[in-house]
């Protein structure tokens, strides 16, 4: 008899949503990472509604892996801090798009209320702006220049919070 080539079972292509200890959905991870977390006791099954279970077999064990797991160890969300206000982080928050004209080229940081008029270098007063819009607006207030950013600037959301919003929206959509 000839041995069959060992193929990765389809079940290992699934992904699992991992929740924090405080039931905040954090991220979608590969089922293999989820198995490691479950086996090492760093996570447990979490059942929400009709949770799908996948059966993963190894020569010695059969493991039921749910599509949602919850970390039993403490909170990775604590490790995240609001990033500093700098060009790289501001452009990332604003999707590398000028908040005045939508251009994605020659981007700079614009202070919505100019610093010369008391505007702060803070998350709620900076937006990505192309060089052209930035110099067009110059030292004027938004209403003076007739240039108002497309989105009201604010500190970027915690990545897990952003994920959570998306996750619950998707869950809701499935109902
Ligand atoms: Zn622009």
d(CA 139, CA 145): 9
Q: Is 101 left (phi over 0), alpha (psi -120 to 50) or beta?
A: alpha
Model confidence at 63: pLDDT above 70: yes
DSSP secondary structure letter of residue 78? G
Q: What is the CATH number of domain 87-145?
A: 1.10.30.50
Which part of the chain has CATH 1.10.30.50?
A: 87-145
pLDDT in tens, 156-173: 877 777 777 777 777 766
d(CA 119, CA 170): 38
pTM over 0.75: no
Ligand 1 geometric centre to CA of 108 (Å): 9
Ligand 1 geometric centre to CA of 129 (Å): 5
């Amino acid at each position: 008899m000839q041995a069959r080539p060992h193929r990765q079972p389809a079940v290992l292509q699934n992904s699992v949503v991992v929740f924090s200890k405080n039931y905040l959905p954090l991220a979608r991870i590969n089922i293999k990472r989820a198995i490691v977390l479950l086996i090492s006791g760093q996570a447990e099954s979490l059942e929400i509604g009709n949770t799908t279970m996948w059966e993963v077999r190894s020569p010695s064990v059969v493991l039921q892996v749910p599509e949602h797991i919850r970390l039993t160890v403490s909170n990775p969300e604590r490790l995240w801090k609001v990033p500093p206000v700098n060009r790289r982080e501001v452009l990332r928050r604003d999707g590398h798009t000028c908040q005045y004209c939508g251009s994605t080229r020659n981007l700079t940081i614009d202070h919505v209320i100019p610093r010369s008029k008391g505007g702060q270098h803070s998350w709620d007063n900076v937006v990505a702006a192309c060089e052209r819009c930035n110099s067009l607006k110059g030292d004027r207030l938004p209403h003076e220049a007739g240039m108002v950013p497309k989105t009201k600037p604010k500190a970027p959301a915690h990545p897990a919070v952003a994920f959570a919003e998306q996750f619950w929206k998707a869950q809701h959509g499935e109902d």
